[in-house]
Structure 1
Amino acid sequence: MDALSELIDTQGVRGVLGALITAGDDWGWWSTETPGAAFHAVTSGTVWIAPEGGDPVQLLPGDLLLLPSGGAHALASDPHALSRTSPKRSDDPAMVADGTVRMGRSPARTHILCAHFTHDPITSAPLLAALPPVLLLRGHGDDQGLAETVRLVGRELAAPRPGSPVVLARLVDVLLIQALRAWLESEDERTASPLHAVRDPAVSTAMALIDAAPGDAWTVTSLAREAAVSRATLARRFPAVVGETPAAYLTRRRLDLAARRLRDTDDTLEAIAQHVGYTSVYAFSRAFRRERGVAPGRFRAAARAGILAS
């Protein structure tokens, strides 16, 4: 599995289908902050969007906008409607029988797919946190397949068939991967992130080895040998790309896995410690408390009660 697929899988990143908007003229809707990354794709017409405290942007057919932090924002038919839309003033949407949201005056000119992305809260370093506050990707002239996928979304919205909600949910996941690919190819890597490992074969290999077997006794030397580079090269490139040393990344992956097992299984602390590569419960508990700020037993109780330790 490649680095990007591994990151998405291990962090449990999933798309959740939200509103399907059919809009006419003269409307504005305030979207409150969401628990995950907010996402909008335009299949026809245009929409103006302004993140709270940010500059407005116009989305055209095939465009998509991702707000990785899920911040509040306004959606509107035009700049004038956008300027009047706020938390205190927002047009009321009308729910249509087929589940779509109707906005503005007829006739319908714009169709928008709204969704959001969630991740497993156990994860200590959310994947999308590396992205800029606003990620705008244009469908026109792109070579990532974004426009084609948005067109598929448009077809499902225009003529719903049995299974359309499942198809749309899968397409939302596809659009996220395409958006991340596009960002990675255009971003200049000034900010280190595990996402950038996709572009470095040696670092990507080292990360994949750790992700596949975090309980193994990996060292920079053994990782470098498997990645076919020198120890010095990997020791230099890994933190420059990922933002942390191989040892720190290994520890974080081990403790993320341990946290998930504490929440999801009844395994003993001894079994979990051994599974994630610690020689004793004491060593495991000390490392877990240092990183998570709470002992494993208390973390398990809080996680199962829905109160995750930070």
Structure 2
Amino acid sequence: MDVLADSLRSLQLKTEVYGRLELSAPWGLKLDLGHPGFFHAISRGGCWLEIEHKRIPLAAGDWVFILGGTPHVLRDSPKTRPYPLPEIYAAHGGQCGGILRYGGDGTPTTLISFSFGFKGTWLNPVLAGLPRVLHVKGDGVVSSRWVESTVQLVAAEMEAGRPGHEIVATRLADVLFIHALRTYVETLPPEMGGWLRALEHPQLGPVLQQLHERPQHPWTVDAMARIARMSRSMFAARFQGVIGESPLSYLTRWRMHTAMQRMAESDESLTAIAEAVGYETDSAFGKVFKRHVGQTPGAYRRQLRQSRESRRGTAVRGSPSSRQSLA
């Protein structure tokens, strides 16, 4: 099993190309749009990113990944006044997902911007270990060149505007997300840990693979240590140091994440789901689930169903046929 792929699938990543921004100085953009994530790549030129009281210079080939819907500003100079991006689109007749030309007659800069959404965040480990602002410079690292090449391909698709270019750009953005994660891991100092680093660890990686592949197995720290070919104490210390939590705590969190995913995607009984994630009784599963999620499995499932029914009702009310019948 590819643990990263498995975790990314459970995230239910939704990527949307926000636009190819052809900018010329002076220009300034303010982004406070509530998206869970943003990706900006500098295809040409350079600019300043201002976020969380920090000012970061961005050059051609650089990219930055912003998590948590953090408001931020992009501009050619710290002295240029920024305006909300939706207002700029509206004023210039642009369309989200298309090409926007904005600014004066100064130095040109091209930005490729995507927004990211995650339906299956729950207790997923992918996002837990990422910083809110992830900046990688286009310095020739192999993965960085992959990112740059993909960005240029997206830019070319959007510029050509051929039929289906939005779908192509969106699929490429999904690939870009994975390349971004890989590049981030490669740029980490050797002493830094984290879940993504643990995936490539020669001793911890195989353990994570087994935990994801068989969450229902009656795991013990001793059994995990044998897979890692380490002593129990050394394995527990290494796992804690790299991933930031104990092996059993990680296992429990992944089991709860898997259970929540199965509830969202199937009509399996709660008993079957409990067994699938390693619990022999509903009561034992229920106690752990409530401790991690804040509500019982039954209450969580009812909430999911109510949410689905609400979305279906909204879709029906908004459909052309329903509008015609009300006319």
State the TM-score, normalized to the length of structure 1: 0.86
| 1:18 to partner: Cα distance | 1.7
Partner SS, residue 80 of structure 1: coil
Report deviation, 1:107.
Answer: 8.3
C-alpha distance 118-189 of structure 1, shift in aligned 2 (>3 A): farther
Please give the alpha-carbon distance, in whole angstroms, between the structure 2 residues aligned to 1:18 and 1:86.
Answer: 16
Tell me by how many angstroms 1:283 deviates.
0.8
Structure 2 residue matching 1:252: 3-state secondary structure: helix
- Give the Cα separation in 2 of the matches to 1:73 and 1:47: 13
| Separation in 2, partners of 1:4, 1:261 | 18
| Range with greater deviation from structure 2 (99-108 or 145-154) | 99-108
Structure number having the greater helix percentage: 2
- Verify: 1:297 aligned to 2:293, yes or no: no
Instruction: Quote the Cα distance in structure 1 between the aligned partners of 2:83 and 2:149.
Output: 33
Task: Provide the aligned length of Structure 1 versus Structure 2.
Answer: 303
> What is residue 37 of structure 2 aligned with on the other side?
37
Q: Which residue of 1 aligns with 2:82?
A: 85
- Secondary structure in 1 aligned to 2:114? strand
Q: Deviations over 1:35-73 (max 9, x none)?
A: 31211012223333211x322233222211111223001
Q: In structure 2, what is the Cα distance between the partners aligned to 1:67 and 1:209?
A: 31
For the residue of structure 1 that corresponds to 2:79, the secondary structure is helix
Give the match for residue 61 of structure 1. Answer: 60
Change (3 A) 1:140 1:163: farther
The amino acid across from 2:119 in the alignment is D
Distance 1:252 1:189, change over 3 A: farther
Of all paired residues, the percent bearing the same amino acid is 32
Distance 1:11 1:191, change over 3 A: farther
Q: What's the offset of the Cα at 1:284?
A: 0.8
Check the 8 A contact 2:66/2:133 in 1, yes or no: yes
Q: Which runs of 5+ in 2 are unaligned?
A: 309-327
In the alignment, which residue of structure 2 is the partner of 1:110? 109
Deviation at 1:121, TM superposition (A): 4.0
User: TM-score, with normalisation over the residues of structure 2?
Assistant: 0.82
Alignment partners' CA distance in 2, 1:293 and 1:99: 42
Instruction: Check 1:63–1:157 CA distance in 2 against 1; reply closer, same or farther (3 A cut).
Output: farther
Aligned partner of residue 208 in structure 2, secondary structure: helix
Deviations 1:51-108 (A, max 9, x none): 1x32223322221111122300112233321xx2267x99623234783233223689
Note the residue ranges of structure 1 that are not aligned, 5 or more in a row: none
Query: Equivalent residue of 1:79, what SS?
Result: coil
SS in 1 for 2:54: coil
> What is the rounded CA distance, in whole Å, between the counterparts of 2:190 and 2:122 in structure 1?
23
Letter in structure 1 aligned against 2:186: E
Q: Distance in 1 between matches of 2:165 and 2:294?
A: 44
Q: Which runs of 4+ in 1 moved over 6 A?
A: none
- Aligned CA RMSD, in angstroms, stands at 2.8
Q: Tell me the equivalent position of 2:320.
A: none
